[in-house]
Amino acid sequence: MSSGPRTYRLGEIVARLGGELIGGQDPEIRRIATLENAEPGDLSFVANPRYLKQLNGTRASAVILARGQRGATQLPRIVCDDPYAYYARAAQLLNPEPQVAPGIHARAVVEAGAEVAPSAAVGPFCHVARGARIDERVVLGPGCAVGEEAQIGEDSRLGPSVTVYPRSVIGKRAVIHAGAVIGADGFGIAPQGGRWIKIPQTGRVVIGDDVEVGANTTIDRGALDDTVIEDGVKLDNQIQIAHNVRVGAHTAIAAFAGIAGSARIGRHCAIGGAARIMGHIEIADGVIVTATSFVTKSIRSAGTYSSVLPAEPAQEWAKTVAQLRGLERLAGRVRELEGHPKPRKRKGKR
């Protein structure tokens, strides 16, 4: 690898990314940094008004601000509509992806009948099986395994020890972090006579363009049809996507979320960390599921859904749980206080 970070004049950044430059100076910018830890040469930003007070003490050479906060400092500053998105794009400018020398490492194994584009870089200890296709400027980190007839689209980057099972399809500009497993068998088993019969998983994983997949995340291949991850989906670490799931375009899913088999997640959803989605249900576009919540039924309209239980001091919590268990009895007592007779016991219980 080579290259890495580079520097820009503040004015060059504005010329490329837009926004309004205020403050009469044009410092050279080396890095983005938080207000708290910035040093001279750093560009900082205020994405949340809560941090405005840190402007006072910062050593940053310049700062990105929202339009309404243009007067909040005398530092050289970029004023824009969305400081957080501006920060993201400025950080991309200052931190271009490292250039990787193209070619197949002498310690990689590319089987006959695999196609590797000349501008792609296949790292040491990678195995690319027969019929696989690695497109232009793809980078495979050390120790990746790409199965038979799998495809990886141009400009995609795989971290170390990523597994892409046979026939999986990955689109363009994917970023896939270490240890992710794309296309392992779904959990397909049928009971027979007290044992489990394995159901061959013959579908594929099909991943669109501009998708990110976090470290040690697993996306299973379909049982018969495909598991589909649409364009622009962002998956954090250690997520599990079961067979035949479809995740709609531009949905973001945080770490540890689990999507059970054949669930369909809409577009532009946000699924919180360790949230769970039951199998065979549908979630509309624009749904937010809070972290750790468990969605057990289809959700038909956009909005925020939750079943979060916030932790409390354990002694308090133990009392709540005890009450919870007595809740049916408590409701019965309220019915009696209201003058209703005790409900008759159901037949099955006699």
Q: Which of 119, 237, 281, 282 binds a second copy (CB under 8 A)?
A: 237
| Dist CA 122 CA 146 (whole Å) | 11
Q: Is 7 in the site for a second copy (CB under 8 A)?
A: no
Q: Which of 192, 341, 344, 345 binds a second copy (CB under 8 A)?
A: 192
* Residues 44-73 as x/- pattern, contact with a second copy by CB under 8 A: ------------------------------
- C-alpha dihedral, 138 to 143 to 146 to 151, nearest 10°: -10
- Other Cβ atoms less than 10 A from the Cβ of 224: the count is 13
The catalytically annotated residue of 105, 127, 177, 243 is 243
| Dist CA 151 CA 204 (whole Å) | 11
User: Which is it for strands 276-277 and 294-295: parallel, antiparallel or unpaired?
Assistant: parallel
Nearer to a second copy, 71 or 303 (CB): 303
Q: Is 117 in the site for a second copy (CB under 8 A)?
A: no
Site for a second copy in 128-187 (CB under 8 A): 129-130, 141-143, 145, 148, 159-161, 163, 165, 175, 177-179, 181, 184-185, 187
- Other Cβ atoms less than 10 A from the Cβ of 326: the count is 11
| Dist CA 265 CA 248 (whole Å) | 6
Q: Is the dihedral of CA 227, 232, 233, 238 positive or negative?
A: positive
Instruction: Please give the span between the terminal C-alpha atoms of the chain, in angstroms, as a whole number.
Output: 76
| Dist CA 129 CA 11 (whole Å) | 48
**DSSP code per residue over 72-135:** S-SS-EEEES-HHHHHHHHHHHHSPPPB---EE-TT-EE-TT-EE-TT-EE-TT-EE-TT-EE-
Site for a second copy in 73-112 (CB under 8 A): 82, 84-85, 87-89, 91-92, 94-95, 105, 107, 109
Catalytic residue flag (residue 105)? no
Site for a second copy in 248-307 (CB under 8 A): 250, 252, 254-256, 258, 260, 268, 273-274, 276, 278, 288-297, 303-307
Query: At its nearest, how many Å lie between a second copy and the CB of residue 31?
Result: 7
Query: At its nearest, how many Å lie between a second copy and the CB of residue 65?
Result: 16
Query: At its nearest, how many Å lie between a second copy and the CB of residue 116?
Result: 16
Nearer to a second copy, 9 or 333 (CB): 333
Query: At its nearest, how many Å lie between a second copy and the CB of residue 37?
Result: 6
List, by residue number, the catalytic residues.
243
